Each structure stands twice: as structure tokens, then as C-alpha cells.
Amino acid sequence: MRPPVGVHFDAAFGDNLDDLLALSLLYSLDNRNECRVIGMTTSKDNLESAGLYEVYQKLYGGRPTAIGMETGKVRSATGMVLKAAAEGQATTVKSVLDTAEPNGLIRNLLTANHDGNAVIICTGPTDNLRDLMKLQTARPVVAAKVRTLYLVGDEAKPVADWPTPVVTVPVPTGLSYVAKAADFGWNEKHPAAQVLALMPDAKLNRAAMAAVLQAVRGKDFVVTDAVLAELVAAKPIPRQRMRGFGV
């Protein structure tokens, strides 16, 4: 029996609230055994960004995989959202050595999946995926394992020579879902809650959340405010994981 689809999440994590909520949604779906979060990489050269991923892993009982972080001083700034989300969080990511090189990490994580049973969601710059395609050993792995690459937003930059279908998820229309800090009442230190507490009126475009639902529930799934309200801030569910899958 195949396990649920494996999802790799790549973002300039911490640059906006949408990404934080999208990852919360993804983990909610993981908790419900609808998918498996197989890995996370940030295209920011920023330890707080990488550390924040680890906070999510622990918060939702995720698989303790290494966190991938781009280096080279790209998008290294700590903006207001990241600062608020990372405030007071405990993480073991203290130096670049506590993170992994994104391209090798993504390849390795994909190798542990059944053919065609993984997707990648990239909500920000595609640097990490372009680096992945430069690895000679990565292309056949991507071709075999990745069912679809989801790029988020109206200005998503394509990845040249990507060997499997690419879906660009535009900013959805007709949605008005707004998260509130109180929604995460089950843990006031939830990174999204900390941001919302400080910036309750932070703007959302909901494209990353739509991409998560489309990747996990299929392209025909209709994203509604009710679904987002039910899942995004949902409390983690203790559950029996399917064992033997994933790194």
C-alpha cells in the first residue's frame, strides 16, 4: 500500500504570513494522514528562517529531518514577520552547520518516496529548485518521484528543464479567510499566532494555502473559507503514523 503523498515545502520562509499559515495547513493535513511533510527548505540565508521550520516540526510532531537553507547571503534580512514569528522560540539551529544544503537534501528526501508519490510546493523564489536541477544525480530522482511541482503566485519564476508537470497556482479570488491569533489558542507560541498578535491586519493573498490544498486534495478541490477556517489553525492531532516510509 502506498503512503499518502509526500510534500516538500520550499519558501523564503518567514518573509510573509501566507507561508506560515500554508505550512500550518500542510501540517494539519499531515496530522490527518492526508499527506506527509517530507522536508522543508528555505531560500533565505537566515538561521531564524531555518530555525522556524524546526519549530514547526516539533510543534506538529513532524519527522525530524534536516532543514535545508540556502547560503550566499541571499534574502538574508530578518523582516518583521520573521522577527515576530521567531521571537522566543527554542531551536537547535544555531549555525549553518545545523542546516543542510538544499539541493542534496531535497534529492535525498525524494529518494525515500514511491515513484510519482511526491510533490514539491515552492511559494517563493525558485533558487533551491534550480540548484537541485544542477545536480547530475537529482534529475532522474525528480523525474521518477515528483508527480507535480506547484509554484505559487502570479509572478512565480519557472524552473528550466523541470522534468515533471508544473502547476502555477495563482492568487485565488473570492476568498476572504483571515486568521486570528486566538485561533491558535492551543499554543500561544505558535509562530503564526505571534505574528498575528503583533500584526493582526497583516495582508494575505492565500495563494500558498490554495497550493497546499490543491497539491494534497487534487486540482478539482474547491478551496473555501470554511475549509481554511477548519484546518489552518487546527490543533495537532496525536495519531499513529504510517511507519516505514520517508527518511
Binding site for other proteins (CB under 8 A): 66, 96-101, 103-105, 107-108, 111-114, 135-137, 244-245, 247
Nearer to other proteins, 112 or 167 (CB): 112
CB of 129 to other proteins, least distance (A): 15
Q: Closest Cα to residue 41, out of 113, 122, 119? A: 122
Residue appearing with cell numbers 497539491: 215
Q: Three cell numbers at 105?
A: 537534501
CB of 157 to other proteins, least distance (A): 23
Could you tell me the CA-to-CA distances from 158 to 22, 43, 109, 111, 205 in Å, in that order?
Answer: 21, 15, 22, 23, 20
CB of 144 to other proteins, least distance (A): 12
> CA-CA distance, 53 to 231, in Å (whole number)?
19
Nearer to other proteins, 153 or 246 (CB): 246
Nearer to other proteins, 106 or 234 (CB): 106
CB of 125 to other proteins, least distance (A): 20
| CB 91 within 8 Å of CB 57 | no
CB of 146 to other proteins, least distance (A): 15
| CB 47 within 8 Å of CB 159 | no
Nearer to other proteins, 24 or 108 (CB): 108
Q: What is the largest CA-CA distance in the chain?
A: 47
Nearer to other proteins, 105 or 159 (CB): 105
